[in-house]
Each structure stands twice: as C-alpha cells, then as structure tokens.
Amino acid sequence: MDTAAAEWTSSERPVGGRRHTGRSVAAWAAGLSLAGVSVVVGCRAADTDGITPVPQLLAFLPWLLVPTGFGLLLALLARWRVGMVLGVAVLGCVAWFVEPYGKTGEPGGPPLAELRVMTSNVEFGRGTDALIPVVRREKPDILFVEECEYGCSRALRDAFGGSGGAYPYREAVEGAGSDGSVIMSRFPLKAADGVRGTMGMPGAVADVRGHAVRLQLAHPMPPLPGQLDVWRRELGELRDYAAASEDPTILAGDFNASQDHAAFRRILDTGLRDGARLAGDPRTPSWPARTTPTLGAQIDHVLVSADLSANGATFPRVTGTDHRALVVDLTLHQRT
C-alpha cells in the first residue's frame, strides 16, 4: 500500500507542477500584454500623445483590440481574476475610443457649388506615373500632392498644366525628396502664405464659383523617435492656421497623424470636420498601402470648415507609393 501510494504521488506531482507553471506563464504574458495596451489607452484617455513608442502605437489604436483580447484570454486560462477584470476594462476603453472623434453637423444654408478634392502622397515622387491616370479617372477639381519632388512637379505640369490643361492654376513649394508639394486646381487660385514646416506646405485661396475658399496643404513631419517635438510643433502650426479665419477652408494632405493623436484632435477642435468621416469612412486606412484595407491607419485627411459638407469618399490605390489617395466630394453651402 505504501509503495503504491508513493508511486501515485510521484506520478501526479509533475502534472500539477506543469499546470501551475503553465498558468503562471499565461498570467505573466497576460499582464505584459494588458500593461502595454493600458499605457497607450491611458495616454489616449489623458488626451496626450506621450513619448515613443506611444505616438507610433496610437496610430493603430483600433488594432489594439487584438492584444487586449489575447491578454484577456490568457487571464481566463490562468484563472487570474485581477487580469480578467483589467482585461475587460481595457477592452471597454479601447472599444470606446474606436468611436470617431469630432463634429459631424451638416451646414444649414443652401448649396452654392459642388467640388471634388483629391490628396495623394506620392512617396518621393515614386507614385507620380501611377497618379496621373488616377487623376484623369477621378477628375478632382482641386488636387493636393505631397512629396512631389522636382520630377513629379514637372510631370504634373506637363500632363495637366498650362492654359489649355485640366488644371491651369497651381501653387507649389518646389523641393527634392519629400520637401516638394503641389496644389493644382480647375478654379482660379490666388497665392497665400503657406504653413511653415520642414517639408513644403503651400497655401492658396481658390475662387469657387465666385466664392473664396482657403486651401492649405498639410504635410508635417512624421512622429519619428527623436522628432516628436517637430511633429507636435508643425501640427500646432496647422491648428493655428485652421483657427485663424472664419472663411470656408479646406485643409488636406498627409497629416502623419490619426484621430487618435491628441495633436491632430486639436485641429478638429477648431471646428474643422474630417471629410472621410462625414462621408461614412472614419476608420478606412490610408497607410501603409501594402496592408490596407486589412491593417493600417487613416493619416491622410481632407478637413473642411462648417460650411462644407461631404457626400462621398474613396481611397484609390496608387502604385509606387506607400499611401492610398483620398478623394472626397464636397458641397459648399451658404452660411446662415
């Protein structure tokens, strides 16, 4: 009897030990996963972008549902009650912040003009050749092109510029690499001071059927480690531009920021509305193009003042660049 009992005990102990070890590992993995997401969500709740790597992760906030769900599952397997409660709380917070941010009210005045706006980052000009047929197909009235270096600028002028071209009016900051940017328009343009930045951000005033509309291309620095102050400052410059006038305004381009970044929400807090959201696409990713629409972030935006409404938005693929283009159909309304 004693020998049998000893054999039974020795054979059972390793199994129980393995189970305990497995639960401990699952609990530790759950804790690490939920702690990482909690830091990012905590910064979102505190309305701050924090420090690296929080700003980079905030761009992909909706996708944090995956590690949160994984952490909650591990907590359940580990029978870790504190982790279960934390997992449910974090999951609820992420789901809450996935809801779109910003105002959505429609203008009350009668329509004055219809216009189509397109923005495209062509990645150091590499997407220029593919952009030209997309522009011909989409037929925007106003075109914003970021990272349009010298060759890109020349190609767009040859394809669309001149007195007989589709876009006879243009304002540009000429530059190499990512520094160049161009606004092209069917409507007459008057030069205006652009927002200062590391990369070119031209501005203009368009005469849209007799109504002045301010145009500003957006292309602040990305939130790279070591460059966060520059990123915040240049988004702040765009915020100041948005708040500086009550005239009809279109602020469009590659913002290198999503609605989950506090610095971008400051721009929306001026009263500008996100055209893609107004058109029913608040979370459609525009970058990186290789993984969209399955995975990505919406960092390309067309922001409009309260006297403009959006009737539709599409995200055409442009080969050669890591961004999808964004096309938004707008209606300019009379102010009430």
Residue range 269-283: average pLDDT?
A: 96
What does the pLDDT look like over 26-58, one tens digit per residue? 889 989 999 999 999 999 999 999 999 999 999
Residue 4 has pLDDT above 50, yes or no: no
For residue 310 the two structure tokens come to: 């959006």
pLDDT of residue 5: 44
For 233-264, b/e burial (b = at least 16 CB within 10 A) is ebbebbbebbeeeeebbbbbbbbbbbbbbbbb
pLDDT tier at 148 (50, 70, 90 boundaries)?
very high
Report whether pLDDT(6) > 60. Answer: no
pLDDT surpassing 60 at residue 25:
yes
Q: How confident is the model at residue 128 (pLDDT cuts 50, 70, 90)?
A: very high
Give the amino acid at 128: T
86/157 Cα distance (integer angstroms):
57
Is the model's pLDDT at 117 over the cut of 70?
yes
Q: Could you read off the pLDDT of 299-331 as tens digits, one per residue?
A: 999 999 999 999 999 999 999 999 999 999 999
